[in-house]
Amino acid sequence: MEVRHYFTTPLIFFKNKKLLFDLKKYINQQEISGIESNVAIQLKKNLVESKFDLFSSEETAVVNTKNFIGKSLATVINEFHLETCKYDITFTDSWFHVGKTNSLHETHIHANCSWCGIYYVDIGDEGSGQTSFRNPAYSTYLDAGTRWLDRTMETRIKAENGLLVLFPSYLQHYQSIYTGKKDRIVVAFNAQIAFLSKESNNVRLQRTKWN
């Protein structure tokens, strides 16, 4: 018997703690209340969330974060496609949310983009509020013959400050209930990516170029 496994789904991880101090300071200075994005309000509990235009800010901390994420995305795409190309990266949505005690974000996907990501600015108190991703391959019928799927139904990420997680937009995911006392701060984004040239890179929505 020969067994071959196909249709894997990637999760990609980068780390950058140098951005955290200034980015957290900027986020804490923003006066927001409720879900200002007005998106999927029914899925979010005990969260405050910014509008979906975070990367339009010209604040240095935000620009540096956007550029780090853009370069990380370009690295991933080149690696997957075995290329050394440049890409036009448009952040269609970018935001932060601050989770309070007993906050959660129920299962969802992100539309109108090819790649998404989460950057953990402050995970708060450890032990809860993890991000879980659900297996996109699922069975329409569960019995003794599909028990092996139970072991692969979802994977839970161990969050840490400064961790960037990139994932394809088709992945369902959710934040489990966060029971800590400290604020849990996360930056998230959606990206569309087009082929550009071998001479320059673009990170857009804010029309910002980077090399």
Within 10 A of 145 (CB to CB), how many other CB atoms are there?
A: 9
List per-block mean pLDDT (blocks of 10 residues) for the chain, which spans 211 residues.
Answer: 91 98 98 94 96 96 97 94 88 97 96 96 95 90 86 90 98 96 98 74 45 33
Confidence (pLDDT) at 208: 40
Confidence (pLDDT) at 85: 84
Torsion of CA 59, 62, 64, 65, to 10 degrees: 180
Confidence (pLDDT) at 210: 35
What is residue 211's three-state secondary structure?
Answer: coil
Nearest to 160 by CA among 116, 189, 122, 103: 122
How far, CA to CA in Å, does 60 sit from each of 64, 67, 83, 95, 114?
6, 10, 30, 16, 26
Provide the residue ranges of all domains of the chain, joining segments of one domain with +. Answer: 12-137+179-197
